[in-house]
């Protein structure tokens, strides 16, 4: 007796069944959302400018003597009708040296920014000495250090602008230069920045005459303002989509639950979030806005009669209304039917944009006698 093995294929395609995993993770390259912080002006060239007009403290440290008798260090803090003065003054036989300063709170500027420019906007009030200085003031936070420490710190600080002659007019702008740019970057983490004012005639025993002031909080003039320009703050924008199914192999007519886990993996709030499956259509989700690090689960049940391979895409908008998206990988739910009279198994495979129907005939063993 000889045996003959006959395999019948009713399709021109050979289908080899390879089970797939029931969970796929989306892949997405993060993009960036760049913006100016609250209160800053967008210069529309990838930079922002923050104008800080309210000072923490501004005023003058005065040191005086008459002959060899030293006078105390005196701090004159500006009030709404005063100004920041520097230079010298004298009365009878008592001489005073003035060194001015202004301190600002810079916490409105993010610590990580790259500063490109810093300038002082002021109003000149009094005729000043021809040669003056705008200087650094990093000895210590002016509003908490001692009067003498502040006075001495101004004397030993570096020049931002020299020579400088205050202009007696309103809305005068003075660029503070590269050293000030570097200094304020280092001071952002401390939350404060200060500058000092002196003139060449404030040395002991040297009184050629003159004093200078910049107006402070006068009712008819602007505040001394620090304009800081820096590159926009950039944050990543990204979404993650994890898709899974309750079962990857079912009988025809069974219900399958499709599960979509969406997470905002970026650093900004995303709104108008929508989820679309290329086979099931638009999927309802519990919310349409996700904060950074927040996630939500969306589900859709469907009766499956054919083997289905599908994918999904999630989209959202960043604060500038640019689209952020992520797509899931393919996931397949296989449907198996039994033919009772022949024992044949039929796999029906549906692929997006095409349908492939593959019949795999069960092997039948025939025998005959010679």
- pLDDT per residue over 314-365, tens digit each? 999 998 888 999 998 888 999 986 444 444 544 444 443 333 333 333 333 3
pTM over 0.75: no
Parts of the chain belonging to CATH 2.60.40.1230 = 2-34+237-368
Region 51-58: mean pLDDT is 90
Region 207-229: mean pLDDT is 58
pLDDT at 341: 45
> Residue 7 above 50 pLDDT?
no
Q: Which two tokens stand for residue 140?
A: 């210590």
CB contact at 8 A, 98 and 199: no
The larger pLDDT score, comparing residue 322 to residue 72, is at: 322
Query: For a pLDDT cut of 90, what percent of the chain falls above it?
Result: 48
Region 15-37: mean pLDDT is 60
pLDDT confidence band for 92 (50 / 70 / 90):
very low
**Residues paired with residue 15 on neighbouring β-strands, in sequence order:** none
pLDDT at 63: 80
pLDDT at 80: 47
Looking at the domain that runs over 2-34+237-368, which CATH code has it been given?
2.60.40.1230
How confident is the model over 245-259, as pLDDT tens digits?
999 999 999 999 999
Q: Is the dihedral of CA 272, 277, 278, 281 positive or negative?
A: negative
pLDDT at 257: 95
Report for 2-6, 55-59, 193-197, 337-341: range of highest mean pLDDT: 193-197
């Amino acid at each position: 007796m000889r045996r003959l093995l006959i395999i019948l294929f009713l399709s021109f395609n050979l289908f080899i069944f390879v089970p797939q995993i029931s969970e796929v993770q989306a892949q997405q390259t993060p993009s960036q959302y760049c913006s100016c912080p609250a209160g800053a002006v967008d210069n529309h060239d990838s930079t922002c400018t923050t104008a800080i007009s309210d000072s923490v403290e501004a005023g003058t440290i005065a040191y005086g003597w008459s002959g060899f008798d030293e006078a105390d260090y005196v701090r004159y803090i500006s009030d709404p009708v005063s100004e920041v003065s520097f230079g010298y003054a004298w009365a009878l036989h008592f001489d005073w040296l003035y060194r001015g300063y202004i301190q600002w709170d810079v916490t409105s500027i993010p610590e990580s920014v790259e500063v490109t420019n810093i300038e002082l906007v002021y109003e000149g009030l009094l005729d000043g000495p021809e040669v003056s200085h705008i200087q650094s003031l990093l000895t210590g936070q002016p509003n908490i250090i001692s009067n003498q420490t502040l006075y001495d710190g101004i004397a030993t600080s570096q020049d931002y602008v020299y020579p400088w002659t205050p202009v007696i007019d309103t809305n005068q702008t003075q660029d503070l230069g590269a050293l000030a740019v570097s200094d304020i970057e280092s001071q952002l983490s401390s939350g404060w920045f200060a500058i000092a004012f002196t003139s060449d005639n404030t040395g002991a025993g040297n009184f050629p005459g003159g004093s200078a002031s910049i107006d402070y909080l006068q009712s008819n003039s602007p505040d001394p303002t620090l304009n800081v320009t820096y590159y926009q703050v950039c944050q990543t924008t990204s979404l993650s989509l994890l898709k899974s199914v309750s079962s990857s192999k079912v009988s025809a007519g069974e219900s399958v639950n499709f599960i979509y886990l969406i997470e905002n993996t970026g650093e900004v709030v995303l709104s108008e979030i929508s989820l679309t499956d290329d086979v099931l259509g638009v999927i309802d989700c519990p919310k349409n806005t996700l904060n950074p690090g927040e996630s939500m689960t969306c589900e859709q049940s469907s009766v499956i009669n054919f083997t289905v391979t599908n994918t999904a895409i999630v989209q959202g908008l960043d604060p500038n209304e640019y689209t952020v998206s992520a797509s899931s990988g393919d996931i397949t739910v296989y449907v198996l039917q039994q033919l009772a009279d022949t024992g044949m198994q039929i796999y029906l495979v549906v692929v997006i944009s095409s349908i492939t129907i593959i019949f795999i005939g069960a092997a039948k063993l025939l025998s005959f006698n010679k």
